[in-house]
Chains A and B, each alone.
Chain A
């Protein structure tokens, strides 16, 4: 029996309470997800979370992703977070998770300290970018949803807070792995599984666009000219066959083209 770990009554009550609250009011899919992820953060004393769909990671590759929902970030921190993800130095630290997923092919949850690259990470450029985003990598939970797509939840604490414990990681894992709709874009199977195979910069620009940033903001966040941003935006629009930012956002909010019933 591998699963004989015992949850104490305080934890079990808190988990049942949280799920009861999530059940309670009538709400749409995204809000329920938000409520549950906010709640998980409360349970494990985390400060921020993100949920996104990733093209299956290959160790060392830049992750291609769509960040769908997030909580606990302010206006400044989210762009910095996207930049931290984009940075080449970060790929090294997602590689062990990618490797693990390739071996296990199932829902995997780990906290950073389990990977044993702590010293290297703290001295890296990547760490500085994370700090600029106001968070440190904490718990990462990945679930393969089809042959090429990973649903990924990241749970973070502010810098200088203690590391997550195995208990906290376990609580997050159980909630994230036993609630399948957390990993879908809608209640039905209307998830859009096509994550673009875009270049690194285009992917970052796309995620800025999906989160409602203007071209001007993107340019200043990435430290590039607005003209260059225009080029990326054009490429992103062409890729998704859309003609405007709202159209692009709608596409991601509504899964495969608007069937939200």
Chain B
């Protein structure tokens, strides 16, 4: 088996366990994974003044900004999620209607005060990309833990029929629930003692401060990531409607 670890990327810690016997394959695979994550981090990090995101944020209100193919793909996803989640997923935190995407692969902000924030998107997207890389290389058993909140289980544990994880209540460290991941991903959103009010509702413009957790298990890690924050702010009716716009998702909310 191979354990790869990046202590700090996209604001958190990344660990992967790959079950495979070919050491040289694993080593080159790991290099690929690291390169991919560094590329994504560089592109999506709004705190890095050299990133493509920062460049867009600084200029798109002034004039259309040409974007890379990778960024274009990201923006397409964001637009699709914006529409499929009743606008509750919004990488501009309420101003996505002011984002204009042009077929020539450029983006423009139609007003001032618009800014891209990929916080609720980046890790899920990274997992999606890594899922693709692992599949290309023929890896059928792996487990990824990206900052505890974004998990992906490919295939199954070497001694079980899935990868099993328990969800821990950050307020008292007790186990709340148990999940079995087999070719599926799990994303958890919520408040914790360290971050009591950080999930923003783009429509009513309030931060959610409820002591609760929402967990999404989905085949697609990006779906899981997007929807876990959406579930923190969507009401039951909205949750019902949004579910119909996605395949193979299971959602749960825990009042703590």
Partners in one complex: no
B residues near A (Cβ < 8 Å) are: none
A residues near B (Cβ < 8 Å) are: none
